[in-house]
């Protein structure tokens, strides 16, 4: 694909049929020739004519179809597009890219922080047949869905009704991922809340990495916080954590490329 240092020039090249490296080279050669050999002649071109050329470039390179997206895309995405466009015009493209990246990252973190939910089921009769042996009558199970990280810990804490729950509660993380240290602290806080009421929390389907970090963080397993490992069904992933907690934690056995592809497809 023919390209130049500027996005506008690259688009004009491609739209004009320049789809090879020769296109970018020709742009550089003609630009150098104009500056070195034809500077006096180019100096006679009226500014008004150059303004017309730039307006034509803007008309050709702007994605006018994107205006139809207003009202159809999330407001945060629309705000990002608008802000990046304004910064590009009044400042420069590099700053616009940086600001757009930061705004998109913050928007993503906010969306994920409110995305975590939990489905509540009672006893063994409400569980799938193939997993029924893992549950006891009278227990309550919370199936957590969504990533657990620093941005969603507050929402995570509101998912549980510790005072109304039975003496044994299961928190299942099969559909969730424990991302960082704040997530570990949130799990500990929930378990401590149940422990203060004389109840037990059974943590299931945690990564071996996460389970080891929790045990390391607590200085051992607490009587009210029970990590129930099942290597056959537990997910495998790593947690973003400081190296000091990893000192005595064996790294998880990551699946091979073939196994990862099998899990995806």
216 and 151 fall within a common domain: yes
Q: Print the domain residue range for 55.
A: 1-62
245 and 200, same domain (yes or no)? yes
Q: Are residues 192 and 211 in the same domain?
A: yes
Same domain, 151 and 211: yes
- Please tell me whether residues 147 and 218 are part of one structural domain: yes
**Per the structure, how many domains does the chain have?**
3
Q: Of 119, 121, 147, 116, which Cα lies nearest the Cα of 134?
A: 121
Q: What is the rounded distance in angstroms from the CA atom of residue 237 to the CA atom of residue 179?
A: 9
Helix axes 93-113, 75-90, angle to 10 degrees: 160
β-strand 225-228 against 140-148: which pairing, if any?
unpaired
| CA–CA distance, 171 with 148 (Å, rounded to integer) | 13
CATH code of the domain containing 146: 3.30.750.24
Q: 146 and 258 share a domain?
A: yes
Closest CA to 232 of 199, 204, 202: 204
Same domain? For 23 and 109 the reply is no
**124 and 28, same structural domain?**
no
Length of the chain: 265
List per-residue pLDDT tens for the chain, 265 residues long: 344 456 777 777 777 888 788 887 888 888 888 888 888 888 888 988 888 888 887 787 777 777 787 778 888 888 888 898 899 888 887 888 899 999 998 888 888 777 889 999 886 554 544 444 445 567 899 999 989 988 889 889 999 999 999 999 999 999 999 998 899 999 999 999 999 999 999 999 999 888 888 888 877 778 888 888 888 888 988 887 766 566 555 555 544 444 444 444 4
Among 169, 5, 10, 179, smallest CA distance to 94 is for 5
Residues 76 and 173 in one domain: no
Domain final position from 62, 83, 98 = 62
Q: What is the DSSP letter of 180?
A: B
Q: How far is CA 236 from the centre of its chain?
A: 18
Q: Measured on CA atoms in the order 117, 122, 125, 129, is the torsion positive or negative? A: positive
Do residues 107 and 191 share a domain? no
Q: In what order do the strands lie in the sheet with 225-228?
A: 117-122, 140-148, 168-178, 200-204, 225-228
pTM: 0.60
CA angle 186, 241, 246 (to 5 degrees): 115
d(CA 241, CA 210): 10
Asked if 57 and 171 sit in the same domain, the reply is: no
Asked if residue 155 and residue 215 are part of one domain, the reply reads yes
Instruction: Name 220's bridge partners.
Output: none
């Amino acid at each position: 694909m023919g390209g130049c240092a500027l996005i506008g020039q690259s688009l004009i090249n491609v739209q004009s049929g320049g789809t090879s490296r020769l296109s970018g080279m020709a742009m550089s050669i003609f630009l150098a020739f104009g500056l070195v050999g034809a500077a006096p002649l180019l100096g006679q071109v009226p500014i008004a004519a150059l303004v017309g050329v730039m307006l034509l470039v803007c008309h050709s390179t702007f994605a006018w179809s994107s205006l139809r997206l207003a009202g159809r895309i999330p407001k945060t995405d629309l705000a990002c597009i608008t802000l990046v466009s304004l910064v590009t015009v009044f400042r420069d493209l590099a700053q616009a890219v940086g600001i757009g990246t930061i705004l998109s990252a913050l928007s993503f973190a906010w969306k994920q922080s409110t995305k975590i939910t939990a489905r509540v089921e009672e006893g063994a009769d409400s569980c799938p047949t193939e997993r029924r042996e893992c549950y006891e009558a009278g227990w309550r199970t919370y199936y957590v869905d969504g990533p657990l990280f620093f941005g969603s810990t507050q929402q995570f804490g509101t998912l549980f009704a510790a005072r109304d729950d039975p003496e044994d509660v299961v928190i299942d993380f099969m559909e969730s991922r424990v991302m960082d240290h704040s997530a570990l602290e949130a799990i500990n806080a929930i378990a401590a809340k149940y422990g203060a009421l004389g109840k037990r929390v059974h943590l299931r389907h945690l990564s071996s990495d996460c389970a080891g970090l929790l045990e390391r963080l607590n200085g051992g397993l607490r009587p009210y916080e029970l990590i129930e490992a099942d290597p056959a069904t537990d997910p495998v992933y790593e947690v973003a954590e400081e190296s000091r907690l990893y000192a005595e934690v064996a790294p998880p056995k990551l699946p091979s490329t073939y196994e990862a592809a099998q899990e995806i497809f």
